[in-house]
């Protein structure tokens, strides 16, 4: 069978996303690897190649699948509608994060099957049964619409990550030179774990694995790294460092293998603060950047989201990373209740920490999270295009216009110009003009986001 897998672009109404970074469609590469031996499979990255109609005409697929986060719901539904208008006989499949936590949002005449949870085995079975003309409703981990009702099958069985095939990166060969995060380009992604042992209220990732923290064996990760050509590697884990013993073993394997690659990964501030030796070991393996969710500058706000880390952890983590010469990609959350004083205090806090880079996102109650259940009756918009971590979904303490002026100021004022220019110097000279231009366009969208509510 001919199978076309789609990585959707964000809606024009959404802010950020591929305007700031572009990671490879790792989930689709996993799904493709599960069916590649017996079928003709293609991945279409619509962020880079937006003409779906042309690809449908040229390839004539029998099955089309799309993956979607919450911010992609409207886009994914529109894509499947376009596919069905092209040919009603095509089997359309939707999977990914949002399909897992809120499958009813994909109840549509244009969508045949909704995959919940890990998609590799479920999609393989969808393809097998579709080829034979068999029913799909008994496949574990899927949902179908019958008589305008969502019929959900038994949950898919628990998976072991090492039992999955390696992602089929050959199917994105035409795009790979364009995947990046800031100056790290080209950038490949790899998964070494899934899930998280912590229970932050704004996050649903720990729920997707039933609260389990799934790990790959370090030897299997090293084997996969040996097959990746890119010199920059992003660990696409929900939380990379928390299993200190496993990550120490992986760092030693990578260091001793002399892979010559540079790594970018997630790390909790408390893990870093308590395990400086682990970070030193990763420096020897080629670690260059660490994404660390500092989130807030007060313990009260950290407790509000059940972060289980402290402001003291944040300071110590930044100190350790800075002393080791690592780039700290610090992330903060802006609560809708923030006042002028809160914005000013956060800007000062970034200066106190000596950060060279900081990102800011508005506290977003995503479906599937405890925060969503707590606040869903108070949402001021349910347009999924605005679930982008920039648009506020809850009423703000400040007038919206002022809220977004101060929000945008954080990007311009929280990090000194000297530090920002130092960051910019890491980019290849040829990329600096376009980087500055894109950044200014995104910041201008942030500053005027209040208009989207008018």
**Cβ-contact 208, 237 below 8 angstroms:** no
Q: 5, 134, 144: which is closest to 61 by C-alpha?
A: 5
Q: Per the omega criterion (within 30 degrees of 0), is the bond before 186 cis? A: yes
pLDDT bucket at 152, cuts 50 / 70 / 90: very high
Q: Is residue 158 assigned to a domain?
A: no
Mean pLDDT for the chain overall = 95
Q: Band of the pLDDT at 424, cuts 50, 70, 90?
A: confident
- Boundary (domain end) residue, out of 152, 184, 213: 152
Domain assignment present for 72: yes
What does the pLDDT average to over 83-97? 98
Q: Are residues 44 and 137 in the same domain?
A: yes
pLDDT tens per residue across span 63-75: 999 999 999 999 9
Long-range contacts of 51-56 (CB under 8 A, 24+ apart): 52/6, 52/79, 52/82, 52/83, 53/82, 53/86, 55/4, 56/4, 56/83, 56/86, 56/87
pLDDT of 286: 98
Q: How many residues does the chain have?
A: 454
Percent of the chain with pLDDT over 90: 89
- Do 197 and 82 belong together in one domain? no
Dihedral Cα 361, 367, 373, 379, nearest 10 deg: 60
Q: Residue 54 — very low, low, confident or very high, per pLDDT cuts 50/70/90?
A: very high
Same domain, 193 and 338: yes
Per-residue pLDDT tens over the stretch 222-272: 999 999 999 999 999 999 999 999 999 999 999 999 999 999 999 999 999
Tell me: do 148 and 177 sit in the same domain.
no
Q: Is residue 40 part of a domain?
A: yes
Name every residue whose Cβ is closer than 8 Å to that of residue 52 and which is 6 or more positions away in sequence: 6, 44, 46, 79, 82, 83
Question: How many distinct structural domains can be found in the chain?
Answer: 2
Report yes or no on 160 lying in a domain: no
Asked if the structure places residue 164 within a domain, the reply is no
Q: Are 272 and 317 in contact (CB under 8 A)?
A: yes
Q: Which residues pair with 330 in a beta bridge?
A: 292, 358
Are both 219 and 342 inside the same structural domain? yes
79 and 222 belong to one structural domain: no
Same domain? 221 vs 76: no
pLDDT confidence of residue 92: 98
The answer to whether residues 125 and 176 belong to one domain is no
Co-location of 77 and 195 in the same domain = no
Q: Describe the chain by its helix, strand, coil percentages, rounded to 5.
A: 45, 15, 40
In a domain, 201, yes or no: yes
Same domain for 131 and 213, yes or no, is no
Query: Which residues are paired to 152 by β-bridges?
Result: 143
Last residue of a domain, one of 99, 121, 152: 152
Let me know: does 3 contact 41? Beta carbons within 8 Å. yes
Domain that holds residue 51: 2-152
Distance in angstroms (rounded) separating the CA atoms of residues 27 and 80: 18
Q: List all residues 6 or more positions away from 432 whose beta carbon is below 8 Å from its beta carbon.
A: 424
Q: CATH number, domain at 236?
A: 3.20.20.70
| Residue that is last in its domain, among 123, 152, 181 | 152
Same domain, 103 and 191: no
Residue 245 lies inside a defined structural domain of this protein: yes
Beta pairing class for 2-7 and 40-45: parallel
Instruction: Say if 162 falls within a structural domain.
Output: no
Q: Is the pLDDT of residue 147 over 80?
A: no
Rounded to whole angstroms, how far apart are CA atoms 386 and 384?
5
Query: Is there a single domain that holds both residue 173 and residue 148?
Result: no
Q: In this structure, what CATH number is given to the domain that contains residue 32?
A: 3.40.50.280
Token pair of 419, please? 């530090």
The pTM assigned to this predicted structure is 0.96
């Amino acid at each position: 069978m001919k199978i076309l897998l789609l990585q959707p672009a964000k809606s024009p109404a959404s802010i950020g996303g591929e305007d700031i970074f572009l990671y490879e469609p790792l989930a689709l590469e996993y799904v493709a690897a599960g069916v590649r031996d017996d079928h003709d499979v293609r991945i279409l990255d619509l962020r880079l190649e937006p003409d779906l109609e042309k690809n449908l005409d040229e390839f004539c697929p029998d099955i089309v699948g799309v993956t979607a986060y919450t911010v992609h719901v409207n886009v994914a539904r529109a894509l499947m509608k376009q596919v069905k208008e092209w040919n009603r006989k095509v089997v359309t499949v939707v999977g990914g994060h949002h399909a897992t936590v809120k499958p009813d949002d994909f109840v549509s005449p244009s969508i045949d099957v909704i995959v919940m949870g890990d998609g590799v085995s479920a999609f393989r079975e969808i393809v097998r049964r579709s080829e034979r003309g068999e029913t799909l409703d008994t496949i574990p981990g899927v949902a179908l619409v019958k008589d305008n009702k969502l019929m959900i099958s038994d949950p898919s069985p628990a998976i072991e990550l090492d039992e999955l095939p390696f992602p089929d990166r050959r199917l994105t060969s035409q795009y790979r030179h364009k995947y990046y995060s800031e100056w790290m380009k080209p950038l490949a992604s790899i998964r070494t774990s899934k899930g998280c042992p912590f229970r932050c209220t704004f996050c649903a990732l720990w729920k997707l694995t039933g609260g389990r923290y799934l790990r790959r064996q370090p030897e299997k990760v090293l084997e996969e790294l040996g097959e990746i050509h890119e010199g920059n590697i992003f660990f696409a884990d929900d939380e990379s460092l928390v299993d200190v013993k496993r990550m120490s073993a992986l760092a030693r394997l990578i260091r001793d293998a002399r892979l010559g690659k540079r790594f970018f990964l997630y790390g909790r501030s408390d893990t870093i603060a308590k395990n400086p030796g682990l970070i030193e070991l990763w420096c020897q393996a080629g670690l260059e950047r660490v994404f660390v969710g500092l989130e807030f500058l007060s313990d009260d706000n950290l407790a509000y989201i059940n972060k289980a880390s402290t402001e003291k952890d944040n300071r110590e983590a930044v100190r350790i990373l800075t002393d080791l010469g690592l780039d700290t990609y610090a992330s903060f959350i802006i609560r809708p209740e923030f006042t002028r004083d809160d914005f000013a205090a956060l800007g000062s806090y970034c200066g106190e920490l000596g950060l060279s880079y900081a990102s800011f996102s508005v506290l977003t109650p995503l479906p599937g999270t405890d925060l969503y259940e707590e606040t869903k009756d108070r949402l001021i918009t349910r347009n999924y295009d605005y679930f982008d971590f920039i648009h506020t979904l809850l009423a703000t303490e400040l007038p919206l216009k002022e809220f977004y002026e101060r929000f945008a100021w954080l990007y311009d004022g929280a990090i000194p110009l000297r530090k920002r220019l130092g960051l910019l110097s890491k980019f290849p000279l040829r990329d600096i003009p376009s980087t500055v231009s894109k950044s200014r366009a995104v910041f201008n969208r942030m500053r005027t986001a209040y208009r989207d509510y008018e």
